[in-house]
Structure 1
């Protein structure tokens, strides 16, 4: 028995000795699934995930100024490609980890119909969207409004969040009765968690391909390589699907 305990302790010490931190910059729309994935990864590997959540545009600026992130999980595919081209990301490490879906959502149960006709009725004071210059979900929202020929009419009612998390919070708080948010923020297990929603048809906006890339500070790190492998694996992909993303 003592020998077994000694072996278990030795294994535990060895496991911890090889554990490391991985610093991940994560697009705000991916907050909930990332927290689940990070918890599973830490439990299985012993590595520690240090996460920062925010807008892809702000992360890009921070990375350009030397922020020590190991990995970027962006809300688009353009930013990781730009970082590779500019030499601040490790070449050939970019991959699509999720494809986002846009939803018009209200915390009020009966406000948003399943066709989005509430937008044409215009019987609301404010409409929350993410800043289209910083957030791909905001750019997608503008694209939808333009396709519906409603952008000019609704522009005075638009309330812009710095990122999709703040956009969602505007609706939760009642600052805006409805808004365009990420499906992952309001759906779980394929079901709407609360309120009312219109899942915008994918044909109405450019696909929101969300790419990940390893940044120069993460090059060659065991924990970084392990996390990238885990993110591509079945367990992480199951979590991603459960929040409404396509793969």
Structure 2
């Protein structure tokens, strides 16, 4: 099946179904699950291409790529892993960009539990606090930084429950196994509002910026479905979805 040349990119986006459809296999950070599913649905309708996606913690996805997993692109929850992939010769030079800037929220499925986030954490009036593994998930790292900024990390440590990724951290709270948890704002926000439970959006100065970079891998550099998806992620349709889930873009 012939590959599209770069000059045909605009035509393929404007005329879905008129050129050969391809499939992209991509790895995506767990925090971006909901918006990515919405973006993929629009992308597939608009272009005729298909996207097969695996969600997980950034650290685990990075390790899988190093071990030869058949991904053609990575949408990470940080900048470090995409940079490393470029340095290691696995990421395509010049393809990396920041697709989203994330926000952290202290969240509870109880609509009345989180009124004053710092006061609640200082009081210890909760059974468990769920966070993502800070060694694997940038949102988990930001959670630890927030606890340190508030000066409560030692007092809260016995109450911590740790998920492998941000999706599991959310699940612990959603199922009631933890009263509260640090999750990605995108997991509980849509249309600019927290749609379930209660939450405190953590001020950005309490943790390092959660800048999320995407990079095309060498295995995907000649796949038009991958290159067109990356162009689509930087377009207005995708950005509108990204903003709707509480992220910022550049």
Counterpart of 1:134 in 2: which secondary structure? coil
Name the CA distance, whole Å, in 1 between partners of 2:141 and 2:62: 17
Shift of 1:194: 1.0
Name the CA distance, whole Å, in 2 between partners of 1:129 and 1:43: 36
Contact 1:104 1:116 (8 Å CA) reproduced: no
Mapping for residues 27-176 of structure 1, pairs under 5 Å: 27-176=29-178
Name the CA distance, whole Å, in 1 between partners of 2:23 and 2:118: 44
Structure 2 residue 39 is matched with structure 1 residue 20 = no
Runs of 4 or more, structure 1, over 4 Å off, are none
- Spell out, residue by residue over 1:87-134, the C-alpha distance to the aligned partner (whole angstroms, 9 max, x if none): 111111100000000000000111111443110110111100000000
Tell me which residue corresponds to 2:3: none
Counterpart of 1:15 in 2: which secondary structure? coil
Q: Against the structure 1 CA distance between its residues 53 and 16, is the aligned structure 2 distance closer, same or farther, given a 3 Å change threshold?
A: farther
Calculate the aligned-residue CA RMSD, in Å. 1.1
